[in-house]
């Protein structure tokens, strides 16, 4: 998970899977275990030319997916992040399928925002509005269309009632070598988003948000390329919904990324360049603009090496920022077993 500052990262991720052996009957659950361990070494050069470096256990997670029957499954994920997240249950939910419809109940990351990227760090759209809640959702698939609606309470609502809602509509299609998808999201209360928790906003009232994302991929014999884009924005708010020092504002973030997948000496390799912007997000310490260049190469079936260069530009002094730039380089090593 990306942080709100710019680290220079060396990440090692070890993922193991344990599959207990059961009799092959419909009455006996099948449990799949997976574990991930991530270490980060980072170096930061911030907007005021100060540097910081450290070595931390960035994430340690353990996930259990229990297939109870052919159409019922339960997922539990534990997560620990040094200096960030104490050991906790990150997600815990059950899924029940009925033909083309799936009902999900439990704590999970709500289906708001796509947050896709081919570089190491999460996009700024995720930093702004990624949200985890206990919710009840119903998703349905028909041909190239899918839709999902969900209901949740939230923790930062004066009324504290089960009347917060969200909706996703998705269209995706593939024809020969061309694939594309578009999804539109709406949520009537984004106040519980992770990126807003440490802000100075008054989040005691609801603030809605909407998102639109899409991607196009063209595949060839030895190479494929694509583009992905996303725009996320809250409704306009003033002192009556959030406390800000300026006039009515609208938090928003955009993400545009080009990527190319190819083979280099029989190793799958991805190149990507991303351009991102935010608006009215100086109080949650997001940059005004970010340019990222990244590369990922599959050393083997189990080993992946990635690097990413980042250049951030802060908001101007008239907007509460420094008007200066920051930069970083990331290295990531991932081992999958």
Taking only the tens place, the pLDDT of each residue in 317-328 is 988 899 999 999
Residue 283: what pLDDT? Answer: 84
Residue 322: what pLDDT? Answer: 93
Residues 307 and 299: their CA atoms lie apart, in Å, by 13
State yes or no: pLDDT of 136 exceeds 50: yes
Higher pLDDT, 303 or 75: 75
CATH architecture of structural domain 10-336:
Beta Barrel (2.40)
Domain ranges of the chain: 10-336
Residue 21: what pLDDT? Answer: 40
Average pLDDT of the segment spanning 11-21: 39
Q: Over the chain, what is the mean pLDDT? A: 86
pLDDT digits (tens, 9 = 90+) for 283-325: 889 999 999 999 999 998 888 888 999 999 999 998 889 999 9
Among the residue ranges 28-37, 44-53, 85-94, 233-242, the one predicted with the least confidence is: 233-242
Residue 334 banded pLDDT, cuts 50, 70, 90: confident
């Amino acid at each position: 998970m990306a942080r709100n500052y710019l680290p220079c990262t060396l990440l090692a991720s070890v993922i193991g899977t344990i599959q207990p052996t059961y009799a092959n009957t419909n009455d006996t659950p099948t449990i799949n275990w997976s574990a991930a361990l991530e270490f980060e070494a980072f170096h930061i050069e911030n907007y005021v030319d100060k540097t910081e470096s450290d070595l931390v256990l960035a994430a340690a997670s353990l996930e259990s997916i229990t297939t109870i029957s052919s159409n019922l499954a339960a997922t539990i994920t534990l997560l620990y992040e040094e200096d960030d997240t104490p050991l906790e249950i990150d997600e815990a939910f059950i899924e029940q399928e009925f033909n083309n419809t799936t009902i999900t109940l439990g704590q999970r990351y709500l289906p708001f925002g796509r947050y896709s990227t081919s570089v190491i760090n999460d996009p700024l759209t995720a930093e702004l509005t990624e949200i985890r809640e206990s919710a009840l959702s119903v998703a349905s698939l028909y041909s190239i269309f899918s839709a999902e609606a969900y209901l949740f309470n939230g923790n930062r609502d004066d009324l504290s009632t089960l009347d917060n809602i969200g909706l996703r509509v998705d269209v995706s299609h593939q024809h020969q070598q061309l694939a594309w998808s578009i999804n539109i999201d709406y949520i009537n209360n984004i106040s519980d988003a992770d990126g807003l928790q440490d802000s100075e906003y008054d989040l005691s009232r609801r603030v809605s948000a909407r998102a639109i994302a899409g991607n196009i991929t063209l595949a060839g014999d030895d190479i494929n390329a694509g583009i992905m884009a996303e725009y996320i924005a809250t409704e306009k708010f003033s002192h009556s919904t959030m406390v800000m020092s300026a006039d009515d504002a609208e938090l928003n973030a955009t993400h545009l990324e080009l990527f190319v997948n190819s083979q280099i000496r029989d190793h799958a390799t991805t190149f990507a360049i991303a351009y991102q912007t935010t608006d009215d997000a100086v109080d949650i310490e997001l940059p005004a603009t970010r340019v990222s260049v990244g590369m990922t190469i599959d050393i083997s079936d189990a080993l992946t090496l990635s690097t990413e260069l980042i250049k951030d530009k802060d908001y101007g002094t008239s907007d509460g920022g420094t008007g200066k730039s920051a930069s970083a380089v990331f290295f990531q090593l991932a081992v999958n077993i």
